Structure 1
Amino acid sequence: MSYHIVSIDAPDCSLSCRDGQLTCKSKEGDRSVPLEDVAAIIVTSFSASIHSKLLLEAAKQGIGLVICENFKPASLVLPANRSTDTLLTRAQAYIPAQLKERLWHKTIDAKCRNQLTLATEIAPGDERLERLAIYANSRRPTKEAECAKLFWRIYADHVAETDGFLRRRDGDGPNPLLNYGYAVLLSTILQNLFAIGLDPTFGICHVVRERSTPLAYDLMEPFRPCVDWRVAQWIRQNPGIENPEVTREFRQWVTGFPLEKIDWMELKLDVRGVIEGVTRSFREAVTTHQSGPYKPWTRTTTKWDG
């Protein structure tokens, strides 16, 4: 059964196939995995070489290759039979409006609860937490906006430590750090969507724009607090900087968050593994036309690692 999504990030590595095994040779040693157990291969290494033998054998096994630049998917290599299989695409393109609404409500419920647990971690005595908890656990149609407003006020007071901080894409303060972290998160989501065959242009809420990937923006919502927490750690470890910059050291720091351990479905996995599980559950929900299989990530404890 093909179930592994193999991520290749070792520098100066060589990928090939021998005796039915995907092989990776690098300075760290040689590793291999049965090709029949691989669902997709994601290459984020900046200097990997790929043997044509692997491309041919991967095509025979129905395995897709996602080749990334700066962690963002730049090329998708699919077997001919897989690229012409439109069943999943049709299922995505014609998701009933009611199912879209249920899937989006589950996504936002998870995001709001994750914001609550993170706010509790960074400001355990803040009096606004009670109100945030009420919003996060409510069925109010405006809960996402209300939770975000309270969450960023708490974040401003206890992380940015300034009354003037506003969460904006073009803002100052921690905003550039958050923007870069969200870009890393978006790339990780896209890698997994491509790997399991989901088309990121078919979203459930975000607006479709030219060259946009609304489904990736949809599914990344509950994971945004992972970036918020990573940035908060960086700021606390580097105090006294009024307008933090995206330095080389910060880039190295924030790109490590997909390897942090989090809880999901009674398991403890790294963020990258949970993202894979969530995207697979979303795929099942789409193909079965039921919201039940979709399991967005919701933190089960209030203690954040790291």
Structure 2
Amino acid sequence: MSYHIVSIDAPSCSLSCKDGQLTCRTDEGIKSLPIEDVAAIVITSFSASIHSKLLLEAAKHGVGLVICENFKPASLVLPANRSTDTLLTRAQIQIKAQTRERLWRKTIDAKCHNQLTLACELASEDRRLEKLALLAKGRGKTKEAETARLFWRIYADNVAETDDFRRGRQEGGPNPLLNFGYAILLSTVLQNLFAVGIDPTFGIGHATREHSTPLAYDLMEPFRPCVDARVAQWIRENPKEDMTWEVDKAFKKWVTGFPLEKVDYFDLTLDVRGVIEGVIRSFRKALVSGQTGDYKPWTRTTTKWAG
């Protein structure tokens, strides 16, 4: 089973594939890895040349390429020869509004629950946890936004340790670390969506935009706290007085390991990547059957957060 998420960050490099080996040539030398062991390739290099042979071999092995600019995903290169299912595609297109709403509600409930459990572990004595619990367990229309707002305040006070931290793609502080971690998560979700034949352009919550993959952003929501926990641990072990953390080689190596962390999923203990696959398969089943009960989003139970 492929599991390596390969990060290419050398200032200048050449990527190719020969005899089943992913090969990266830089000024420092040559490194290689069996392409069949690769789950995704994240390219943050400022100047990388990619041989067409690599693109073909990556497609054959179901490997996704995430090409970044300033460490933010700018392009996703995914296999075209993936499994497809007419029944599944039709189910995605014809999904009822009520069914879509229920699927999204289950997704958000799981995300809010996971944010709550992480906040409790990061700041067990914080007086705001009681309010956060009420929000996370509530049914209001603004539940996700209100829960996230309070979660990030607690996160800022106990992780970033600053009063002016704001979660956003263009913001500073821990945000570059979070953004890179979410890019890894997104690539993992996308690969699994394509692997089971689900078209990620048909979302249930995020707005559909040109050239977007809203379903991937939808289904990654409950797993975001996995990244948040990983980043929290990094920050606590690598404090910065000026609150400016860089996405350097050490951090990349650290954060790309989170898909292999063990978590509970019903009666099983699996790595995060395996749970993502299980969740997506359950989502596929719900689409085909039209029964939202078949969808089993991940909620954190007894497993200790890495952070």
What TM bracket, shorter-length normalisation? 0.7 to 0.9
Summarize the alignment of residues 197-216 of structure 1 with structure 2, pairs less than 5 Å apart. Answer: 197-216=197-216
Q: 1:247 to 1:45 in 2, by over 3 A?
A: closer
Alignment gaps of 5+ in structure 1: 1-5, 17-25, 33-40, 56-62
Query: Which of 63, 66, 83 is the equivalent residue of 2:62?
Result: 66
Alignment partner, residue 131 of structure 1? 131
- Contact 1:113–1:298 (CA<8 Å) still a contact in 2? yes
Residue identity matched to 1:172: G
The aligned counterpart of 1:160 is: 160
Structure 1 match to 2:246? 245
Describe the shift of the 1:259–1:200 C-alpha distance in structure 2 as closer, same or farther (beyond 3 A): same
Q: Which secondary structure state, in structure 2, belongs to the residue aligned with residue 44 of structure 1?
A: strand
Counterpart in 1 of 2:191? 191
Q: Which residue of 1 aligns with 2:120?
A: 120
What is the CA distance between 1:227 and its match in structure 2?
A: 0.5
- Contact (CA 8 Å) 1:205, 1:214: kept in 2 or not? yes
Residue 223 in structure 1 maps to residue 218 in structure 2: no
Question: Post-superposition shift, 1:267?
Answer: 1.2
State the match for 1:277 in structure 2.
Answer: 278
Tell me which residue corresponds to 1:7.
2
Q: In the aligned structure 2, how far is the partner of 1:221 from the partner of 1:173?
A: 22
- Superposed displacement of residue 87, structure 1: 1.8
Alignment deviations for residues 66-112 of structure 1 (CA, whole Å, 9 cap, x no partner)? 23224885231427xx55x4221111111100000100010000000
Structure 2 segments unaligned to the other structure (5+ residues): 7-16, 22-30, 43-49, 68-74
Query: How far, CA to CA, are the matches of 1:173 and 1:243 in structure 2?
Result: 5
Question: 2:303 & 2:254 partners in 1: Cα distance?
Answer: 23
Aligned positions, number: 271
* Cα deviation 1:31-87 (Å, max 9, x = unaligned): x9xxxxxxxx9753699989x9x99xxxxxxx97423224885231427xx55x422
Secondary structure class of the residue paired with 1:278? helix
Contact 1:64 1:195 in 2 (8 A): no
3-state secondary structure, aligned to 2:170? coil
Cα shift at 1:250:
1.0
Matches within 5 A, 1:253-272: 253-272=254-273
Report SS of the residue matched to 1:101: helix
What is the one-letter code of the residue matched to 2:40?
A: T
Equivalent-residue separation in structure 2 for 1:243 and 1:230 (angstroms): 17
Residues in 1 aligned to 2:38 and 2:293: alpha-carbon distance in whole angstroms: 28
Measured after TM superposition, the shift of residue 303 of structure 1 is 2.9
1:21-40 residue CA offsets vs partner (Å, 9 max, x unmatched): xxxxx999x9x9xxxxxxxx
SS in structure 2 at match of 1:225: helix
Aligned to 1:235, the other structure's residue is in SS state helix
The letter of the residue matching 2:219 is L
Return the alpha-carbon distance in structure 1 between the equivalents of residues 165 and 89 of structure 2.
41
1:179, 1:151 → 2: CA distance?
17
Is residue 117–residue 302 contact of structure 1 (8 Å, CA) maintained in 2?
no
Give the Cα separation in 2 of the matches to 1:257 and 1:8: 11
TM-score when scaled to structure 2? 0.79
Structure 1 segments (4+ residues) deviating >4 Å: 10-16, 45-50, 70-73
**Matches of 2:252 and 2:154, distance apart in 1:** 25
* Structure-1 separation of matches of 2:41 and 2:156: 36
2:246 corresponds to which letter in structure 1? E
Q: Tell me if the contact between 2:39 and 2:188 (Cα under 8 Å) persists in the aligned partners.
A: no
Q: Deviations over 1:221-257 (max 9, x none)?
A: 0000001001101100101241111112111111111
Counterpart Cα distance in 2 of 1:230 and 1:192: 22
How does the TM-score come out when normalised to structure 1? 0.80
1:135 touches 1:147 (CA, 8 Å); kept in 2? yes
Contact 1:206 1:217 in 2 (8 A): yes
